[in-house]
Amino acid sequence: MNDLQLDYFMAVATNLSFTKTSEELYVSQPAISRQISQLEKELGCKLFKRNNQGTELTEEGRLYFDLFSKYKAEFINTRLRAERITGKSNAVIRVGFLEGWDLFDIIPPMMKRYKEAFPESEVVINCCGVKELATGLLTDTLDIVVTIQNSVKMYSEFECIDAAEIQKILLFAASHPLANKEPGELTLKDFSSDLFIAPWEIVDKMIIDAISNYTRPYGFIPKLRFVKNHESTVTCVRNNMGVMIGDEWVWAKNADDIRWIPFNAHDIIAVARLRTKDNDNVLAMEKILSDIVKTHKNKDDAHRL
């Protein structure tokens, strides 16, 4: 058993997809399958079931997922304690943001405040999908993330701070037949016959239910099509191949060839980290990000008024 096998197992267990994990880690599917097969052989049990419905953990797999999650967390905690004893601190802090967000008013003040506190520390930014952000925390490739609350609240290993509530919006092409109407004249119901596009990496029951819950009050369940990532989703919308549900932070809403309307739903933005990752750098960044997200949201609200 080695760390590579554990990282691959944790990533597949989080994504519930060998294909998505392969793309996320830039490793071939056969290489991932081979490492997990070796891990299964050593443990003497099957960790995953693969069928027409997808990939899921076996009962034994769920037990080992809990065990390895605790092992990873305790290993990180021990390493941090060792660094405190030796007087060393992290030279790099890795911050993850949800892909598709306009971060122009978030990253510059974050960098300024963090560099004032830790001038010798480097900040690395990664923009990923919701499952990639959770996987990054669990496998210690990210130190702290800013994402949608419901994608991280389910993990007991995470410390989450609710930073702001943001408005959900529907985005559609400027060439859409309804684009000539005023936004105030439109509701979600007007798009009931449209195809709804979403990134395939979030294909799971929770997200499908969430999208349906957004549209159900307007009297319909949407037709869904899943594509590989956020960029593909936006490309489909810009070319009038469907519509998408996003939030008020999505950069695409400002594109000349896209229109959008708000509807009656909200998300919570959370700042999340592993509970055991409580060194000074990470705690400082947690406070900085929470403050900046709240300030940015308040500015948005004031601007709308």
Total domains in the fold of the chain: 3
Does 141 share its domain with 287?
yes
Supply the pTM of this predicted model: 0.74
**8 within 8 A of 14, measured Cβ to Cβ:** no
Indicate which CATH number applies to the domain containing 52: 1.10.10.10
The pLDDT of 212-222, averaged and rounded, is 92
> In sequence order, what are the beta bridge partners of 51?
54
pLDDT of amino acid 115: 93
77 within domain boundaries = no
Does 109 share its domain with 223?
no
Q: Report residue 265's pLDDT band, with 50, 70 and 90 as the boundaries.
A: very high
How does pLDDT run across 169-201, given as a tens digit for each residue?
A: 999 999 999 999 998 899 999 999 999 999 875
Does 295 share its domain with 260?
no
Does 151 share its domain with 297?
yes
How does pLDDT run across 228-262, given as a tens digit for each residue?
A: 889 999 999 999 999 999 999 999 999 999 999 99
Is the pLDDT at 87 greater than 80, yes or no? no
95 within domain boundaries = yes
Does 178 share its domain with 254?
yes
- The range of the structural domain enclosing residue 187 comes to 167-264
Does 149 share its domain with 221?
no
Indicate which CATH number applies to the domain containing 131: 3.40.190.10
Does 202 share its domain with 155?
no
**25 within 8 A of 11, measured Cβ to Cβ:** yes
Does 283 share its domain with 161?
yes
Does 257 share its domain with 289?
no
Does 157 share its domain with 193?
no
Does 201 share its domain with 245?
yes
